[in-house]
Structure 1
């Protein structure tokens, strides 16, 4: 359980000067919004770091005083409404910089030009677009491996279990967010997003696209403790309309006195849906999808291939605590935003590593093609598929997924794959009603071409 902060003392410095002036200097060292490592810590963590002998209430009051001078109002949340506030931390500044440099549509175009083969990059990206849907499902408890989940999506087979239905639903939700990125936010769009994501999984549990009408929805931790009571169902749609109006307003114009970078606005939108909990279930998935929807809307297109849930699921307790820290400390959104920005920094870093490795692999592959004489024998599509297989981005191929990833006809995709078999680079086997193609081992390929 999170330790709630004590109520701050109104004039802590005066209190210390009156009652314990000898310790004033020690207290003044705490007069900063961040700790000495640049972290924005909640009382739950900070209380263990206060110097020995200091009164925790006074120490916390000093920290709060420093923060209040830098917190800016963002939007009202809940009922009765509490104004959520935000302070820019180092992690937020780094995440904003990384997003501006590496995740815009212009950055994607530059990356494509650097790699030099748009089709090869597109195959990589089409594979990455699945990761958020899978990670978000696993974060919500879907008991399936990433390999099985990718196979499910790539083969486009019908889901057989509730977990598989969740993965397919999340994938559709992300596709819906992308396809509807130019629309204005509204309660109707939020409901549609939920319906697309959860319909057909367990309708009696999720009530697809229907806002909750009762106050019996609660959030519990792993031990069964109630950690969040959402605002009342009465007035929910009105509050969502207010949230939508805020989301649709322009806060990123440089002349706006209420300037808020799109990344931070997307994070606040993520928090707001999680806080309101507008549905009986599936709220986390909707919240994360709306985070992406807003970034897509603001032309941060590379976020389509950057999976935050993959990292969130590695430390779900911290993700949950970032919500609670905000809620238990006067709706200070800095806790949640700082945590999310640290995740975003890592996710962008992983995206960059994948793209750079793709570039290195492609250069090595081109050298192999030239030396072996394969270059003249492979078609452009075969080069793309072979390189993808060689780099490990995908291990199994079917005519259906090659057709989708390369944007060609089914017959062309089948001919591409069968041609790789004829060149003794791939093998194929019948799985159900379709042929599944896989690359041969490197040693076997070399042996085939030496003989």
Structure 2
């Protein structure tokens, strides 16, 4: 269980006076705790802080000094009811993440990547594989047992889900498409309900009650041992609190010269936290919270987030994800814990996206050199080149005529001709799965061997 911080509403002046009188040589040791982070730059909660105090130092006094430093540096964010006023401190990690997000994930940055890859309007198709990752990972984070490979195959073939786990993934996929399509709309409670209904509808309607806010207080968050770690605010007043959240989200905080300025990334993370904290639905709250994070990033023109999955990393450290919620809740709604942790995840997610783009460029350049020199490239039509580029950059991707028809905006017959032509050139394999033909890239070494023989 999380160790709550001691009550520092009144600074322990008597204890500080005692230290000054009896341990003058140690005063500097105490003063070293008058800072918002530790010597390693970590914004520690008391739960961890108390274990990193040198012997002979009173942990409660050291904590009181740290809290004083933090309160002097805090910035106002959002109210959670009349008494829970949330604030945060700009750690160096938060600052770095904001800069990287601004540099690498805006729509303008994505357009630059288009030119770098050299495929213009088709880079979105090349990165299509990444769009599915958040929907799949977010479902797996909530317990869906379907493998990523099977989930991708289901989405690409548009086949009907065969289990509740697969329905969760399809629901999340639809939800991510919904937030992209609705990114220009203001946030309303009806939009939140509609998002939930799309994400969980048809999975287990009795359990999820799609699109309906909870009416009781029997919804709790438990740890893996069944201990209650979060009791959401009461259902009474939920509609009013969510309306207040919507009003805050719809308020312009973009003026960097204003005292009310909040960076879009920080605001999106706050929306994520707010839905998780309020837990407005019987189930499926985490998926809605993460989807609304993306909705706001899309709204603020960070288009590259279509290809960046935070859930892919959150599912690798679910304990830390949960603790970042609890640390905030147990320490006077200090949002720094949650924002800082989310930024650590987003930093890695953006780095993975940039690495994928770089590898895409390198793979295209190196393999295209061989394709050109071997004469293979000259035998491909424009549409075949696009499909082939996608396939060689995502070797596990499968293709169907329906899928290519949708992505290349061509007729079904044209899509089938494109794929069958790739088979005839010994670049793709073709197999029957039920009533549908499924195509996939042959091993690259086999392709080169066949064309050199």
Please give the range of the TM-score, normalised by the shorter of the 2 chains: over 0.9
Alpha-carbon separation, structure 2, partners of 1:405 and 1:76: 44
1:311 aligned residue: 313
Q: Give the alignment partner of residue 44 of structure 1, picking from 44, 47, 52.
A: 47
Alpha-carbon separation, structure 2, partners of 1:326 and 1:443: 52
2:399 aligned residue: 397
Kindly report which structure 2 residues correspond to 1:45-60, keeping only aligned pairs within 5 A, or say none: 45-60=48-63
| SS, match of residue 278 in structure 1 | coil
Which stretch shows the higher mean deviation, 130-139 or 401-410?
401-410
2:218 aligned residue: 216
Is the 1:382–1:417 contact (alpha carbons within 8 Å) kept by the matching residues of 2? Answer: yes
Kindly report which structure 2 residues correspond to 1:111-130, keeping only aligned pairs within 5 A, or say none: 111-130=113-132
Q: Give the alignment partner of residue 413 of structure 1, picking from 395, 412, 415.
A: 415
Is the 2:200–2:284 contact (alpha carbons within 8 Å) kept by the matching residues of 1? Answer: yes
The answer to whether 1:27 aligns with 2:68 is: no
Cα drift, residue 388 of structure 1: 2.2
Q: Give the alignment partner of residue 71 of structure 2, picking from 60, 68, 76.
A: 68
| SS, match of residue 399 in structure 2 | coil
1:5 aligned residue: 5
Alpha-carbon separation, structure 2, partners of 1:371 and 1:159: 44
Alpha-carbon separation, structure 2, partners of 1:447 and 1:327: 61
Q: Give the alignment partner of residue 150 of structure 2, picking from 148, 151, 160.
A: 148
The answer to whether 1:323 aligns with 2:325 is: yes
Deviations 1:77-121 (A, max 9, x none): 14x541011111111111101110011111111110111112541
Distance 1:328 1:213, change over 3 A: same
- Report how many aligned residue pairs link the two structures: 450
Distance 1:61 1:158, change over 3 A: same
Alpha-carbon separation, structure 1, partners of 2:69 and 2:391: 54
Q: Which runs of 5+ in 1 are unaligned?
A: none
Alpha-carbon separation, structure 1, partners of 2:116 and 2:408: 19
2:279 aligned residue: 277
TM-score, normalised to structure 2's length? 0.97
| SS, match of residue 416 in structure 2 | helix
Alpha-carbon separation, structure 1, partners of 2:57 and 2:43: 20
Distance 1:125 1:440, change over 3 A: closer
The answer to whether 1:243 aligns with 2:251 is: no
Distance 1:125 1:392, change over 3 A: closer
Alpha-carbon separation, structure 2, partners of 1:29 and 1:445: 64
Instruction: Please provide the CA RMSD for this pair.
Output: 1.3
2:268 aligned residue: 266
Kindly report which structure 2 residues correspond to 1:91-130, keeping only aligned pairs within 5 A, or say none: 91-130=93-132
Alpha-carbon separation, structure 1, partners of 2:85 and 2:336: 13
1:369 aligned residue: 371
1:15 aligned residue: 15
2:380 aligned residue: 378
The answer to whether 1:446 aligns with 2:453 is: no
Is the 1:17–1:24 contact (alpha carbons within 8 Å) kept by the matching residues of 2? Answer: no
Which stretch shows the higher mean deviation, 142-151 or 112-121?
112-121
Kindly report which structure 2 residues correspond to 1:415-430, keeping only aligned pairs within 5 A, or say none: 415-430=417-432
| SS, match of residue 267 in structure 1 | helix
Alpha-carbon separation, structure 2, partners of 1:159 and 1:331: 40
Q: Which runs of 5+ in 2 are unaligned?
A: none
Which stretch shows the higher mean deviation, 404-413 or 274-283?
404-413
Alpha-carbon separation, structure 1, partners of 2:70 and 2:52: 17
Alpha-carbon separation, structure 2, partners of 1:183 and 1:395: 33
Is the 1:252–1:262 contact (alpha carbons within 8 Å) kept by the matching residues of 2? Answer: yes
Alpha-carbon separation, structure 1, partners of 2:341 and 2:401: 41
